[in-house]
Chain A
Amino acid sequence: MPKQILIVEDTADLRHNIVEVLSMEGFTVSDSANGEEALVLLETINPDLIITDLLMPKMNGFDLIQNIRQNIQWKNIPILVFSATPPIENEKRVLELGANSYLKKPSTLEALVDVVNKLIEHE
């Protein structure tokens, strides 16, 4: 049974690229453009990993992480933050909020796949 990953990213081009890469890696991938959409989507799927951006319209990554961690059903889903904001400013904050890892944009495909595999295997 292939593992399922939810991508939350507002920049469409980037989102499509991530989806394609992870599909190629054999994952089942769902995607949404912001936190709000992601929460709606989570009602219908049960992903093994959530990858989220931080700065997004409507609901940003911080709020999304908080929402997920506060939900009994979702609180154990690993979350990878994939953001262009400098880690100095936000890494600590998102880890405190409950994210499991922080990957800085831009990242190589290998680094992305690596951290995704680690988080999924760990689970």
Chain B
Amino acid sequence: MNMKQRLKILHLEDLPTDVELVDRELKKSGMQYESVVVSNEQDFSRELLRFSPDIVLSDHSLPTFNSFGALKILREQQIKIPFILITSTTSEEVSVQVMKEGAWDYILKDRMQRLPSAIEQAIDKYNVRQAKKKTESDLEAAHHKLLFHFENSPLGFVEWDNHFNVKHWSPRAEEIFGWTTQEYQDLQIQGFNAVYEDDYPIAVQKALELTSGGVSSNHFLNRANTKSGKVIWCEWFNSVQKNSDGEVMTIMSLVSDVTEKKHAEEKLAANEKRFRSLIENISDAIVVSDADSNILYQSPSVERILGYSEEERLNKSLKSFIHPDYSKQYAELFQSVLKNAGQPHPFEFPFLHKKGSYVWLEGITTNLLNDLSVNGVIANYRDVTQRKMLNKILQEYNDRHEIVSRATNDAIWDWDIENDFEIWNHGTQTIFGYNEREVGSSRNWWKEKLHPMDYERVNQELEESFKRKTENWISQYQYLCANGNYKYVLDRAFILYREDKPVRMIGAMQDITEQVVAAQELRSLNERYEIVLDTTGDAIWDWDLLSNEITWGEGLFKLFGYQAKAAIRSSFWFDKIHNDDRKRVEQLILEVVSNSRQFKWEDEYQFRKSDGTYSFVHNRGKIVRNKEGKATRMVGSIQDITERKLALEEIEKLSLVASKTDNIVIITDAEKRIEWVNESFVKRTGYTSKEAIGLTPRILQGPETDPYIVSRIQKHLEAGQPVIEEILNYSKNGSKYWLRLNINPVFNNKGELTKFIAVETDITHQKEYEANIVAIARELTELIEHANVPIFGVDRNGYINEWNKTTAAISEYNKNEALGKKWINFIDPTVHKKASQIIENAFAGKQSVNFELPFVSKSGKQFILVISISTRRDRNKNIIGALCVGQDLTEVIQYRQGLENLVQERTLELNQALKKEKELVELKSKFVSTASHEFRTPLSTISLATGFIRRYKQQIVPEEIDKKLDNIEKQVNQMVYLLDDVLLVGKAEAGKILVNRSEIEIETFKTLAAEVIESKRTKHRLHFSNECTVSSIMTDEKLVRNIIINLITNAVKFSPEAGKIEMNISCDLHELILTIKDQGIGIPEKDLKNLFTSFSRGSNVGTIEGTGLGLSIVKKAVDLLNGTIELKSILGKGTEFKVTLPLEYA
């Protein structure tokens, strides 16, 4: 009330003079006022409401009314305005009584001058009182409002005094901690609820902050013990309330149970930790960089490989660590990586080591910039420097092998004995005419080509070598050429043994046809010579020196064609001697005959035959002397040695040929004494022909000559067999040289051994490169075989010709199974095209490195090899195949995939946990929002109704006020129901509801349903039917009531077009079946899943209000009673719920 306004005075007085008196007095004081004067009860009551006075001035007694009556009305109407009694009665008793009844003051009519000040005082007092009241009620209202919100908040609300003693906490706080306010107060614990020991310091610190007035609000997290002994995580939001003096009065806290969230966070942290430790404990190096290739993270293995620690490389560009020659390639790769997010890119680059050297790293890099868990470009790699080196060495060996094998015309073969797989060099084509396609890969292919005469022998020799474990094998045989002819072959081989078993044999077949043919011819000539020598009949003669007549034997005719039956003069003989020889012959005979000591004569000359041609003859004679020593006769024989002479000339000629081709030719007698040597012999050995003749070839042998070979030669020669051997010989000056011997025995017509002819070739040079190739091949073999990476070879036609141990182990195919098969058959069929392309590229001469190819093992498992292919070339530089060096990536890839899966799994788990948490938070916040909406509507009604009473109380009749009050009460009840629902759900979820059975009449359910429908004030009609065989059942009344109230309420709410609601109860001794059917909007199928979940509401509810708690309550009640609930619903047609409850009887 404002004093500046005109004061409204209701004056109860029946005497106009007294009215006049008051008026005069008030006007005199200058008071601004208006007044209404009444004199009876009826007028008083009316004006009290209509005029709404600020003050009542009242006479004590009036004809029909008095001041007691007036005060009573004010009291009843709860109108608390000042009431001043104006009376002439001096009776103190009356005055006291009136004051007792509620008058504020009294004025005696004869002391009226006090009136204005009395009014002023009363009004002041009234104003103060009103203001105080208003403040109190405002405060109370605010407090109630606050409490209301807190009490119904999903957060717990706790109010503390300034010593942190609990003053009050909300039901939710009770749910969180388990203690009621009273229980907690009894515990006499100060501070944040039963703080977990470890978190005590933070709780104390936070509490002190607040009570000291340092901060007006704070927030923190701690663990707390609940009444049931559980440890939960609490999140506190605290604020301080201060009084006007700034002293801390109370502390208000909101608390929520964040245990689940905290656990989700912990799980996340643990997963991250696990992920990180996984990364850090693997041998693969991992580097994460940003989009500018700056290093963000590197795993500990990087330091091991590159020498740099994480700090040393952090934020530096990866580019600066790449070998400068590869920087462009790297830049291209990185561009591609950035462009193709998520796609792994293999790479292989030399990286800078801290020591300044470069390390070959091979790996995979992937753009995971968009992946929140990585947010970078990730690269994992491993040190492949060793593999790289091995590859290089292999290539070198391979090249050397090829070069050496190209340097010879021999057919080089390499036989893998264990797996019976043989490869041939170009020689098989150049010597024997077999092309690549015709060459077989088994030893049998070679065996089939052996001459039938040699087949058994050669195989025996081979077997024997294996048995004796000799490293060298040598054999001569005839070998079938592609054109059907046989060639003489000298096959020398080196045998590799492993654990005493022959595993590999590398040999060289040399075409020695020319030599053999030459040697054979020599032998046959010699044999002819011997035969001539032995079989030709001699021409016997008997020369009478005294008569100078010669008597000839039969041979003269046989050999020369002359008939000489009687003695003929010696001139007949001399006449036939060639003029070139005659003089010499005659002179020699004269000398021999005239020398009395000579008894023998011998000479060779040309003798003319009867046909005029000349023959070479050997003439020998024996001289007969008389006592005086005079020659009287000479007896002898003439041999025709023409053919022998010719044969010898032929030998000379052949020797000449042999010497030109560097072949050494030696002819010995049966005792192996040298009879003849050629020029090559002289050149090579340093012995002259004269020096050599008469010696044995043993003089050529020296300390390093293999005695075993010597004895072998000896053995063969003694048996009269031909020999081919290789042997180390020494020249006269001591230099060593290798010879290949081809010795043939020569027999006469009686089968007696007479001579040996040896044709020998200097093979020192060949021997050297053979030793070389064997060494290389041996090393290569071992290298390939024992390499700890898979290596396999492919020929030009795609057939496998190498297959090392590691490949066999990985693929599960042993060498035997793989060799000679198409390589593509080992590749995963889905990438055949790519694989063929790669090998074709290699054959086209393009370098092929680092192809990731999936292979399929024998058992059908896939394994991934990263292969690098180097080509193999023949001497014409034609590509003849490829050598593939691989690295088994299966583990790396599986590991990588495992890692990816793990990350995915973790991310998924995490997302699920977060999603669940988010859903929960969303549901709760949705609940808060809907619940608050639900509360606001009745609150609006209350607010308006109270406002109405206050504002119009003077204009309205009491009945109207009653109506308003009823209205308010109804709203309050509605809010109480809602609150009950919320609490019920909370309790049910916490398992705090106990089933309490009692006997209930079936009909009470009908009454209940009818009441619910009635309360909704809609036009729904209830059709109730009772098919029970009993009239009452034992059950929990509260729970069943909840079921019915909620189902009926839903039926009404969700059938806005009203209509029929059918309720049927049937029951026997065992169960109760309750169906409630409406004609409403129905429930969409997609919502059925979450239908009974708290806070969830159908998607078609539109603006129909609700909290999403009803069916949740129903379900919980049904569950508590061990029952079931089913529903049938047709969208737009209606829904029918069927509840089945088992009944129990004690």
Contact = CB atoms under 8 A, between A and B. Distances in A.
B965 to A, nearest CB: 12
Given A24-B955, A55-B1105, A58-B1056, A17 B937 contact: no
Given A12-B1017, A13-B971, A107 B940 contact: yes
B1106 to A, nearest CB: 11
A20 B1017 CA distance: 20
Contacts of A112: 944, 947
B1105 to A, nearest CB: 6
A24 B738 CA distance: 139
Contacts of A24: 948, 951-952, 955-956
A17 B968 CA distance: 11
Question: 6 closest pairs, A vs B, by CB?
Answer: A109-B947, A84-B936, A106-B939, A105-B940, A17-B944, A55-B1103
A56 interface: yes
A55 B947 contact: no
A34 to B, nearest CB: 9
B929 interface: yes
Contact of A17 (B948, B956, B1104): B948
B636 to A, nearest CB: 153
Contacts of B1017: 12
Interface in A54-112: 54-58, 60, 82, 84-86, 105-110, 112
Contacts of A110: 947, 951
A21 B941 contact: no
A5 interface: no
A11 interface: yes
9 contacts: A11-B937, A11-B941, A14-B937, A17-B967, A21-B944, A24-B952, A86-B932, A106-B942, A108-B947
Contacts of A49: none
Contacts of B971: 13
A12 B974 CA distance: 14
A8 interface: no
A20 B956 CA distance: 11
A93 to B, nearest CB: 15
B228 to A, nearest CB: 36
B834 interface: no
Interface string A4-39: 000000111110011011001000000000000000
B17 to A, nearest CB: 40
Contacts of B950: 109
Contacts of A11: 937, 941
Contacts of B951: 21, 24, 109-110
Interface in B632-666: none
A85 B933 contact: yes
Contact of B939 (A60, A105, A109): A105
Given A12-B1017, A13-B970, A57-B1104, A18 B944 contact: yes
Interface of B: 929, 932-933, 936-948, 950-952, 955-956, 967, 970-971, 1017, 1056, 1102-1105
A109 B944 contact: yes
Nearest to A86: B929
Given A21-B947, A24-B952, 19 more contacts: A13-B967, A14-B944, A17-B945, A17-B948, A17-B967, A20-B948, A21-B944, A21-B948, A24-B951, A24-B955, A55-B1105, A57-B1104, A58-B1056, A84-B933, A84-B936, A85-B933, A106-B936, A106-B943, A109-B948
Contact of A57 (B942, B943, B946, B1102): B1102
Contacts of B929: 86
Nearest to A35: B1103
B967 A108 contact: no
A86 to B, nearest CB: 7
A105 B1056 contact: no
Nearest to B1102: A57
A86 B936 CA distance: 10
A112 B932 CA distance: 20
A12 B1016 CA distance: 10
Nearest to B145: A106
A57 B1103 contact: yes
A105 B1105 CA distance: 15
Interface in A40-64: 54-58, 60
Contacts of B952: 24
B943 A107 contact: yes
B933 A55 contact: yes
B1119 to A, nearest CB: 31
A72 to B, nearest CB: 27
A106 B945 CA distance: 11
Interface in A106-123: 106-110, 112
Contacts of B947: 21, 108-110, 112
Given A20-B948, A21-B947, A24-B952, A56 B941 contact: no
A54 B1103 CA distance: 9
Nearest to A57: B1056
A104 B27 CA distance: 48
Nearest to B1056: A57
Contacts of B967: 13, 17
Nearest to A61: B1103
Contacts of A12: 1017
Contacts of A107: 940, 943-944
Given A55-B933, A57-B1102, A14 B940 contact: yes
B1015 to A, nearest CB: 12
Contacts of A105: 936-937, 939-940
B175 to A, nearest CB: 25
Nearest to B1105: A55
A85 B932 CA distance: 8
Most chain A CB neighbours (cut-off 10 Å) among B932, B967, B1103: B1103
Contacts of B970: 13
Contacts of A58: 1056
Contacts of B1103: 10, 54-57, 60
Contacts of A56: 1103
A106 B940 contact: yes
Given A57-B1104, A110-B947, A14 B933 contact: no
B1081 to A, nearest CB: 10
